[in-house]
Amino acid sequence: MRTLIFRCLLLFSVLAVATFATAQSSYKVISVTNGGTIAGTIKWSGAVPRELDFPVTKDPQICDPQGKKSVSLERLIIGPDGGVANTIVYLKNVSAGKALELPEQRRHLDQRRCHYVPHILLVPEKADLQMQSSDATLHTIHMDGAATYNLPFPFPNQISSRNMSTPGLVNLRCNGGHVWMNAEMMVVPHPYYAVTDESGRFEFTGVPPGTYQIVAWHEGWGLAGKEQAFDVLTEHAVQRPIFTEPKTWEKSVTVNANQPSTVNFVLGNK
């Protein structure tokens, strides 16, 4: 049953990548002189699910220096005011606009205390993702989806770069036995993407006037089960968590010249 669940989720990810790439394949950079803004929040409604955590089964002196014996899987982060962090918000049907610029901190990945930092990445199509490990242990980044790499990091603070040539979703995990490590990367063809902050806020500037579909994408916060994997260093069998599929919400928004627009989303289990 767990194998079947994993195969279904893998197929879902492949189809999502294909759909994403097809929908976002053509974008033209133009001079936007009368652009508007879109801003808003992602908020949580209802009972907050129990935080997902996972036992630290390897390198506790590095991964668990405080001796908690488990770590958060970081799948759902809700701030004090109900804002949902780490939600990707983007315009779905934009064909032209400003040049592609994204926050630098979302384009560089560190492996720190056996966590991926940041947990959600945004990398421009055909740009490089720079990766490093701050940990004095072997990590191996395994990617599947719009990019497929398996990259070892045996030494701390050595930077490795790979080009992200295809737009779409990329799943990241560690094949070095740190099975709780997980992150998501979106390789994007235009600049109207954002990741919500700790308060659930996002903003787009320089949006050409028009009507768009705006999408809120969250990686999902459920645990579907576990699968057997292998630690590439010890070759021992390990149990890796399998997560439920991502969730999306969609709305229409009209942007007028030099005017602000507001779009708010409410997330929940219902």
Bridge-based pairing state of the strands 115-117 and 108-112 = antiparallel
- How confident is the model at residue 236, as a pLDDT? 82
Question: Which contacts of 5-11 are long-range, i.e. CB under 8 A and separated by 24 or more positions?
Answer: 5/224, 5/225, 5/242, 6/225, 6/227, 6/242, 9/224, 9/242, 9/243, 9/244, 9/245, 10/144
Please, which pLDDT band fits residue 25 given cuts at 50, 70 and 90? Answer: low
Q: Please give the pLDDT value at position 233.
A: 75
CATH number of the domain bearing residue 149: 2.60.40.420
Query: Is there a contact between 71 and 65 (Cβ–Cβ < 8 Å)?
Result: no
At 125-134, the pLDDT tens digits run 999 999 999 9
More confident residue, 18 or 135: 135
User: Which of 64, 174, 62 minimizes the C-alpha distance to 116?
Assistant: 174
Please check whether residue 122 is in contact with residue 108, taking contact to mean a CB–CB distance below 8 angstroms: no
For residues 114 and 71, is the Cβ–Cβ distance under 8 A?
yes
Number of structural domains, the chain?
A: 1
Residue 177 Rama label (left phi>0; alpha psi -120 to 50; beta): left
Amino acid identity for residue 52 in this structure: L
Give the residues across from 226 on adjacent strands: 241
Residue 234 pLDDT: 78
Question: Which residue has better confidence, 100 or 4?
Answer: 100
Mean pLDDT of the chain: 90
**pTM (global) more than 0.95:** no
pLDDT band at 179 (very low <50, low <70, confident <90, very high): very high
How wide is the angle at C-alpha 27 spanned by C-alphas 23 and 33, nearest 5°? 130
Q: For residue 231, what pLDDT band results from cuts at 50, 70 and 90?
A: confident
Say which residue the tokens 């990766």 belong to. 131
* Mean pLDDT score, 202-208: 97
Question: Has residue 117 got a pLDDT over 80?
Answer: yes
Mean pLDDT of 171-179: 94
In this predicted structure, what is the pLDDT of residue 29? 96
Please state, for a pLDDT cut of 90, what percent of the chain lies above it.
81
Domain extent for 163:
2-267
Residue 74 has pLDDT above 90, yes or no: yes
- Residue 169, pLDDT score: 97
